[in-house]
Amino acid sequence: MIATAFDRIATPPAAALLGWHLLDARPGEGWIRIGFEGKREFCNPAGFIQGGILGAMLDDTMGPAVFAMTEGRLYTATISLTVNFLASAKPGRIVGEARVTQLGKTVAFMEGRLIAADGAVLATATANARLIEAGKALQ
């Protein structure tokens, strides 16, 4: 695996709760792949991962795509997040993939998706986020 800006920071508590771990990244392309653990504690009464948790996983995939692309210089504060739920998510391994579609001076645009262990696409999302200098955001 290549070195990324994530090598220089501790995993945030919310990311740790989701089982966040970097699987692959192409910072120059604004692309990232993140692994998550869909825990039973995240399930609704029907036994599927609750949609808000999936939204958090998507958010915690797309924002890091910007962080990696900017080599840790810019942090994102989500302005809007639109999620499309395509299939029910069972507990287990979930992979998030995201790419930066446009990086402006103050706002980033991103898209992402979550994939189940069997390859099924669980959800897709688009987001835009305010860009903040990491030194100001990560204190």
Sequence spans of domains, the chain: 12-134
Contacts of 98 (CB under 8 A, 6+ apart): 31, 32, 34, 58, 61, 62, 64, 65, 110, 111, 112, 113
Q: What are the backbone dihedrals phi and psi of residue 4, each rounded to the nearest 5 degrees, phi first?
A: -135, 175
pTM of the model: 0.94
pLDDT digits 0-9 by tens, 103-129 = 999 999 999 999 999 999 999 999 999
pLDDT band at 137 (very low <50, low <70, confident <90, very high): confident
Q: Please determine, looking at this structure, whether the domain spanning 12-134 carries the CATH number 3.30.70.360.
A: no
SS3 34: strand
Q: Does the structure show a pLDDT above 80 at 4?
A: yes
Residue 8 CB partners (closer than 8 Å, separation 6+): 72
